[in-house]
Structure 1
Amino acid sequence: MSSALWGTLLAACIVISFTPGAGAINTMSNALSQGWRRSIWGIIGQQLALIVHVIIVAAGVGLIVSQSELLFNIIRYAGAAYLVYLGIRLILAKPTLSSTDDDPVADAPSEGRWSMVRRGLWVNLLNPKAIVFFLAFIPQFVRLDQPQLPQYLTIIVTTIAVDIVVMWGFFAAAARPFRRLARSERGQRTLNIVFGCLFIVVAALLALVH
């Protein structure tokens, strides 16, 4: 891959990563409930999903999904249902107060890292439009007259590196100002409702917008 083409890929990945979606909401929610450092586990799960999406497209499965209305709808509604589940669970979650001023979540029960990884994985994986998007996005940066594996590895590494920086460095960090609000039971309840509703809104968009 030429430096000019890679530069275009990098710019595209930055724009894509900054586009708000379920991954960004999940990252900010994790940062609020588990802290900025531990939110990386959810981000790792989301990156695993991106790898799967690229592999699906490279293997040609993405084309099958995009051309099969039944398969597309099955994945689409499953993804929407999962986001609704996450939203309702967050809305109903009981506030956990901390005695530490510097870290409002320091004394809160810590979610297991693998639980956060799994949730991040499913949040990004159950999105058929991501498969269709990558199906349209990836071929623009793959040259058929050159070895395929190095090109796909470059795409995967660039996409993951950019997304981690944006998710952890921007969206997770953006949740920090709200952590002062999380020091009170009312504040936590408000944040849980807000982020829970955001999950449900994204689910509605995924299910209803064609």
Structure 2
Amino acid sequence: MDFIGFIVACIFFSISPGSGAVVSINNVIVNGLKGASFGVLGLQAALIVHLFFIYLGIGMLVSQSPLLYSVIKYLGIAYLAYLGVDKIMNSLKSKDFFIVDEAKKSKQVLMRQGFIVNLTNPKSIIFLTAFLPQFVNEHSQAATQYLLLGSIVVLIDTIVMFLYSLGASSFKSFFSEAQTMRNINFMFGIIFIGIAISIAM
């Protein structure tokens, strides 16, 4: 097994900007680093579910079933679009366009949001379905190998999401102004909708 190649591929998989990174950065801005950490936990819980599905062979089924793939894909699109519209509406609640902050969310809501965003991301499960088996030795215990490889995937993705969060946290003072927050809410709403559209295309 080429561990170096596997780790490098995992890093590039995690570091490529996507809905998980956007959710992590947004959560830091609105809920702080501690609040954002619960969102990261939700993202990783969904990633663990993906890895479990792949171990069971369901990942291959999804990749080979256009209907099942489409169902997961459009559920994810709908949820991202909902998040986008929700943030835009939060930025438009006042007559004075950029005044009111978005309310902070509970840790349960943050975890659930991260979980749904990652769970309904079919590109993640398709990538892992094509990627992980290449590093599994068919002559060795598959369960142990999947557990080891899956743990590495989750660990690297957790580190990357926290790095995204820490980066956003470094600029938290910039986001402390209400006017800036309203602009940021609007911007992230557009980004979420943009990601939904890009997945749909």
Normalized against structure 2, the TM-score is what? 0.90
Matched, 1:119 2:113: yes
Structure 2 gaps of 5+ residues are 92-98
What residue number does 2:57 align with? 60
**CA–CA distance in 2 between the matches of 1:184 and 1:144?**
56
What residue number does 2:33 align with? 36
Residue 197 of structure 1: CA displacement? Answer: 0.9
Counterpart pick for 2:178 among 181, 185, 194 = 185
Equivalent residues of 2:10, 2:156 under 8 A apart: yes
Equivalent residues of 1:181, 1:188 under 8 A apart: no
Q: By percentage of residues, which structure has more helix?
A: 2
Residue 17 of structure 1: CA displacement? Answer: 1.0
User: Kindly, what percent of the aligned residue pairs are identical?
Assistant: 35
Equivalent residues of 1:24, 1:167 under 8 A apart: yes
Normalized against structure 1, the TM-score is what? 0.87
Residue 109 of structure 1: CA displacement? Answer: 4.8
Amino acid at match of 2:20: G
Equivalent residues of 2:100, 2:182 under 8 A apart: no
Residue 188 of structure 1: CA displacement? Answer: 0.7
Structure 1 gaps of 5+ residues are 98-107
What residue number does 1:129 align with? 123
**CA–CA distance in 2 between the matches of 1:15 and 1:194?**
25
What residue number does 1:147 align with? 141
Are residues 177 and 190 of structure 1, via their aligned partners in 2, closer, same or farther at CA, if it must alter by over 3 Å?
farther
Spell out the pairing of 1:19-98 with structure 2 (5 A cutoff): 19-93=16-90, 96=100
Residue 9 of structure 1: CA displacement? Answer: 1.6
Residue 96 of structure 1: CA displacement? Answer: 5.0
Equivalent residues of 2:74, 2:200 under 8 A apart: yes
Q: SS at the partner of 2:30?
A: helix
Runs of 4+ residues over 4 Å off in structure 1? 94-97
